[in-house]
């Protein structure tokens, strides 16, 4: 037993037999017993109610008696490791063997055993029967004790150690003997948890019937029990479009959805006005949709993810129609398509004008409630993820609002569909509870968080003093509405050639600039939409009416508002995060389709396409229970409540002031100061803690990105870097004791990066080519799992990155050239696929290939393993037409000569994959 049980709360301590005898002697009405109870159980009468902290032990005792039993839904981690297959293999290897097991083993194991009982019972069995060979299915040390008592018997002992029993050490025993001091110092918080657990145990029989009673089924159950009865080991957290659609596509695999509020309430999906982007028009193609998505993402969209997204558009629309969504159509049933900013074609599918989100949600809710494979648990608030000893996610720590108690929800696979984080800002179009808790859960569980700094601000929220701010959908501008100042002058012509249909980040900053300049910003829909406004956009019209504005005849006052988070939990093309057992879909995920700036109405499509991909992965997946997953200890000390309103007001003001549309190092550090002050707030709650974690992830990401790109604008770094790169943040364990990244984490990371072997190796090459104009860059050859760190270290060493990932550039090598039928064909196909927003690089190893590469329009030509003479001739022949990169045989001794040929770039795999490591203690990570 752990010390808090053994020393603090136990009235009697002993081995299983002693516990059983003491329990049989006592006249207590309620007995809380940790140990095997087969001896005492037969002595108790049918009025006894017994609590057992092990579901398998409870089943075993229930089979022997008529006693009512209340059980914890968990089991012993040691005995859980044994399987029936293990026993069958042992029998095959030891003919005639007798198998003896503890009753805490799973039922299939006990079914294979010859005898099940306590340690004393097993020992007595061996003494009485004296078998030749015995297999002991129990903890190693306990089986050693039995073997010691029976030296003439041959014992086979599969070794499973109990880590809790092993806390008792010889030094501790020696100290007790020397000092005769038996007191065990226990953290007061741990002792309090133990006391609360015992109190709950004692209260349970008074309100709940036994789940193993032979007489009747339980009328009221703990939440863990309710979830286990669903026979589902897949858990979805969140019930918006992403969560519901994923659950529906999992059919017939059982799945459980938990949602903090009644289904359809409190989420952002019903507020989605724009619609669903899909290339289904006669003049449209997925390739055009792909090009628009890539361009909007400002160099950070993953081409593979974008291709999956746009190719899935038509199927997603068809599936929703099949489910019952009634999209807007003409008299002939042809879907009506609208246009929004940065789309080159009309491809937005609407429902009841500006009510697409609500229409889709209504249908998905009805379908989910009617599906037998889906269990929906409402008013269950997730506080954190459970993680086991192997760093795998195994469910969630939750708060049951109705029962007013915490519980753990075990799951083999957990899908986050928790939505966005606009509620962290003072002006937002999101529901106020949307505070990015899912991002905090994933970060604390060790998952990689990608690009948290990219927050999209919708340029046209209604500026009417309502919190959250109603949204004036972008479709209004797609239908011809224009942005004007208070004089009625259209102002977007001053900011971008696309004018009112420019990407959102550009429009939002233009609106912000007009407001700060005192000229005001309004939306003029009087001519383009006019009398049709109430029918075409009923939601916006109702919001205007509530503010005493008639948009048919008057301009609509607008202001930018936090609207969508492009960053999130990094996932692969199938929705899996970097943490085992954890998946993410929807706004909480960074699937790669949005990059630095989301293309309008791609978000609903993303939720559908990638939700279906997750379902495809999990539908037939063989899952196993996670090993004793647990929640972070500090979470248990906090109240299971939302963030304090006053604290959130301070946080929202700080985020809007220092980490919104326009940022700087000074403003970001001021925001960090507020976050750190709030971490010491006496009103700290579980909800506030998660909000602060996510807020700091955004701020730290913004500090690390010393450039301006997409939705992230730094006034102190107004230009974009030549090479696009991702920000990836990963924490191991808790972020800090205060659940935030340490104040100087970025500075410490920079110090380590500058002193690490990668940075030192890079600096050595950079120093060697000084004065030649050549740049040293790394290659793709980085350590698995450390790509972001090593590529950053290269930059700290004075070098650059050849590319950060496959989203940065198309790289054509000799196998691509052969497959395409030549250099020209390869370049033509590559350019057709990605347009001119992504650089195209081709690798050649002969001089006679150079002319064809230049004629094909390659942006970069990699000269692979060429001699110094060939490099010199290539530079002369190129005459500045393309960037020339030399690669191969790059060492400290040769790099100077290579640089003096005049090449622009020299790439070296050695600086990352062969650089020596410095032996530094990284305790602060």
Number of other CB atoms surrounding residue 89 within 10 Å: 12
Tell me whether residue 93 is exposed, middle or buried, using C-beta atoms within 10 angstroms of its C-beta: 0 to 12, 13 to 18, 19 or more. Answer: exposed
Query: What is the bridge-based pairing of β-strands 556-565 and 522-524?
Result: antiparallel
**Nearest C-alpha neighbor of 357 from the set 539, 592, 568:** 539
**Can you give the pLDDT at residue 223?**
39
Q: Left (φ > 0), alpha (ψ -120 to 50) or beta: where does 276 sit?
A: beta
**Can you give the pLDDT at residue 494?**
93
Structure-derived torsion over alpha carbons of residues 398, 400, 406, 408, reported in degrees to the nearest 10: -40
Query: Could you give the CA distance from residue 71 to residue 58 in angstroms, rounded to a whole number?
Result: 7
Taking residues 745-756, report their average pLDDT: 41
Taking residues 612-617, report their average pLDDT: 97
Distance of CA 526 to the CA centre of its chain: 43
Number of other CB atoms surrounding residue 469 within 10 Å: 26
Tokens of 850: 């150079």
Tokens of 5: 């049980």
**Can you give the pLDDT at residue 39?**
45
Tokens of 97: 């063997």
**Can you give the pLDDT at residue 229?**
32
Highest-scoring range by mean pLDDT, 83-87, 203-207, 218-222: 83-87
Residue 612 confidence class, pLDDT cut points 50, 70, 90: very high
**Digit-coded pLDDT (tens) for 527-566:** 999 999 998 888 899 889 988 999 999 999 999 999 999 9
3 state DSSP class of 764: helix
3 state DSSP class of 899: helix
Tell me whether residue 780 is exposed, middle or buried, using C-beta atoms within 10 angstroms of its C-beta: 0 to 12, 13 to 18, 19 or more. Answer: middle
Residues 6+ apart with CB under 8 A from 156: 90, 94, 97, 133, 134, 135, 136
Which pTM value belongs to this model? 0.58
Structure-derived torsion over alpha carbons of residues 864, 795, 442, 300, reported in degrees to the nearest 10: -60
**Digit-coded pLDDT (tens) for 670-704:** 999 999 999 988 889 999 999 999 999 999 999 98
Taking residues 38-49, report their average pLDDT: 52
Average pLDDT, the chain: 81
885: pLDDT strictly greater than 50:
yes
* Lookup result for tokens 């459980």: 256
Cβ 145 vs Cβ 138: under 8 Å: no
Tokens of 53: 């902290």
Cβ 210 vs Cβ 49: under 8 Å: yes
- Bigger pLDDT: 129 or 179? 129
- The C-alpha R_g of the chain, in whole angstroms, comes to 32
Query: Could you give the CA distance from residue 454 to residue 623 in angstroms, rounded to a whole number?
Result: 35
705 is catalytic: no
**Nearest C-alpha neighbor of 268 from the set 588, 677, 708:** 588
454: pLDDT strictly greater than 90:
yes
**Can you give the pLDDT at residue 920?**
37
Of the residues 228, 406, 477, 504, only one is catalytic, namely 504
Number of other CB atoms surrounding residue 774 within 10 Å: 25
**Can you give the pLDDT at residue 797?**
80
Residue 226 confidence class, pLDDT cut points 50, 70, 90: very low
**Digit-coded pLDDT (tens) for 834-858:** 766 578 899 998 999 999 999 988 9
921: pLDDT strictly greater than 70:
no
DSSP alpha helix (H) spans, 220-263? 223-228, 241-249
- Bigger pLDDT: 650 or 41? 650
Tokens of 690: 């998660």
Taking residues 90-119, report their average pLDDT: 84
Taking residues 741-749, report their average pLDDT: 40
**Can you give the pLDDT at residue 169?**
55
**Can you give the pLDDT at residue 839?**
81
């Amino acid at each position: 037993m752990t010390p808090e049980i053994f020393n603090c709360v136990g009235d009697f301590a002993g081995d299983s037999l002693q516990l059983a005898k003491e329990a049989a002697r006592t006249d207590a009405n309620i007995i809380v017993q940790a140990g095997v109870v087969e001896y005492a159980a037969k002595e108790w009468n049918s009025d006894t109610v017994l609590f057992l902290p092990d579901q398998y032990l409870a089943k075993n005792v229930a089979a022997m008696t008529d006693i009512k039993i209340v059980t914890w839904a968990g089991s012993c981690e040691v005995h859980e490791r044994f399987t029936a297959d293990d026993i069958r293999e042992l029998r095959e290897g030891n003919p005639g063997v007798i198998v003896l097991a503890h009753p805490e083993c799973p039922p299939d194991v006990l079914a294979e055993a010859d005898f099940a009982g306590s340690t004393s019972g097993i020992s007595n069995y061996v003494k009485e029967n004296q078998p030749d060979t015995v297999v002991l299915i129990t903890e190693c040390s306990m089986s050693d004790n039995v073997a010691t008592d029976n030296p003439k018997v041959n014992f086979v002992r599969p070794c499973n150690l109990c880590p809790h029993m092993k806390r008792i050490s010889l030094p501790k025993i020696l100290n007790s003997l020397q000092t005769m001091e038996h007191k065990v110092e226990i953290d007061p918080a741990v002792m309090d948890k133990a006391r609360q657990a015992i109190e709950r145990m004692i209260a349970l029989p008074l309100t709940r019937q036994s789940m193993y009673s032979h007489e009747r089924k339980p009328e009221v159950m703990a939440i863990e029990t309710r979830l286990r009865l669903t026979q589902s080991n897949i858990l979805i957290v969140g019930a918006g479009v992403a969560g519901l659609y994923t659950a529906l596509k999992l059919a017939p695999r059982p799945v459980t959805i938990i949602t903090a509020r009644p289904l359809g309430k409190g989420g952002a999906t019903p507020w989605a006005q724009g619609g669903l982007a899909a290339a289904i028009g006669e003049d449209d193609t997925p390739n055009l949709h792909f090009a628009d998505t890539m361009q909007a993402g400002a160099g950070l969209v993953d081409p593979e993810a974008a291709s999956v997204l746009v190719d899935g558009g038509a199927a997603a629309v068809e599936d929703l129609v099949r489910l019952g969504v009634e999209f807007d159509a003409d008299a002939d049933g042809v879907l009506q398509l609208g246009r929004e900013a940065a789309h080159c074609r009309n491809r937005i599918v609407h429902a009841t004008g500006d009510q697409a989100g609500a229409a889709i949600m209504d249908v998905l809710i009805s379908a989910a409630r009617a599906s037998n494979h889906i269990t929906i648990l409402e008013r269950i608030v997730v506080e954190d993820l459970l993680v086991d000893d192997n760093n795998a996610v195994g469910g969630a720590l939750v708060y049951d609002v109705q029962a007013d108690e915490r519980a753990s929800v075990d799951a083999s696979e957990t899908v986050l569909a928790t939505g966005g984080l606009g509620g962290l800002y003072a002006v937002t179009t999101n529901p106020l509870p949307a505070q990015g808790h899912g991002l905090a859960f994933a970060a604390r569980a060790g998952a990689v968080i990608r690009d948290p700094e990219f927050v999209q601000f919708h340029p046209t929220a209604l500026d009417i003093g309502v919190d959250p701010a109603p949204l004036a959908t972008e479709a209004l501008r797609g239908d011809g509405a224009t942005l004007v100042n208070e004089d009625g002058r259209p102002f977007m012509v001053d900011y971008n050639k696309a004018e009112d249909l420019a990407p959102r980040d550009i429009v939002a900053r233009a609106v912000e600039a007009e407001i700060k300049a005192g000229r005001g910003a309004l939306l003029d829909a009087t001519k383009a939409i006019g009398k049709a406004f109430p029918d075409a956009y009923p939601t916006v019209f109702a919001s205007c009416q509530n503010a005493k504005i008639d948009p048919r005849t008057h301009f609509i006052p607008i202001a930018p508002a936090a609207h969508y988070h492009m960053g999130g939990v990094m996932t692969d093309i199938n929705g899996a995060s970097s943490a085992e057992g954890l998946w993410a879909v929807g706004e909480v995920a960074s699937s790669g389709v949005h990059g630095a700036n989301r293309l309008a109405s791609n978000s609903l499509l993303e939720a559908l396409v990638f939700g279906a991909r997750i379902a495809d992965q999990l539908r037939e997946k063989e899952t196993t229970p996670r090993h004793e997953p647990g929640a972070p200890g500090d979470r248990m000390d906090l109240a299971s409540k939302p963030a304090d309103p006053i604290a959130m007001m301070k946080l929202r003001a700080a985020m809007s002031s220092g980490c919104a549309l326009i940022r700087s190092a000074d403003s970001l550090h001021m925001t960090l100061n507020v976050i750190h002050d709030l971490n010491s707030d006496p009103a700290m709650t579980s909800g506030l803690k998660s909000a602060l974690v996510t807020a700091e992830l955004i701020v730290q990401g913004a500090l690390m990105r010393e450039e301006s790109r997409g939705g992230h604008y730094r006034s102190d770094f107004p230009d974009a870097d030549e090479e696009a790169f991702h920000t990836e943040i990963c924490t191991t364990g808790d972020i800090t004791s205060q659940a935030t990244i340490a104040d100087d984490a970025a500075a410490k990371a920079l110090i380590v990066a500058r002193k690490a072997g990668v940075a030192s190796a890079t600096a050595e090459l950079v120093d060697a080519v000084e004065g030649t104009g050549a740049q040293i860059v790394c290659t793709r050859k980085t350590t698995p799992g450390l790509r972001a760190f090593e590529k950053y270290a290269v930059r700290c060493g004075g070098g650059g990155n050849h590319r950060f990932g496959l989203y940065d550039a198309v790289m054509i090598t000799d196998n691509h050239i052969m497959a395409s039928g030549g250099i020209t064909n390869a370049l033509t196909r590559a350019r057709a696929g990605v347009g001119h927003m992504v650089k195209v690089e081709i690798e050649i190893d002969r001089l006679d290939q150079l002319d064809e590469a230049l004629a094909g329009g390659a942006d970069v030509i990699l000269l692979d393993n060429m001699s110094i003479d060939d490099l010199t001739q290539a530079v002369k022949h190129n005459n500045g037409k393309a960037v020339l990169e030399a690669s191969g045989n790059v060492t400290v001794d040769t790099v100077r000569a290579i640089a003096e040929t005049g090449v622009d770039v020299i790439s070296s795999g050695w600086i990352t994959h062969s650089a020596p490591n410095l032996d530094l203690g990284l305790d602060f990570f």
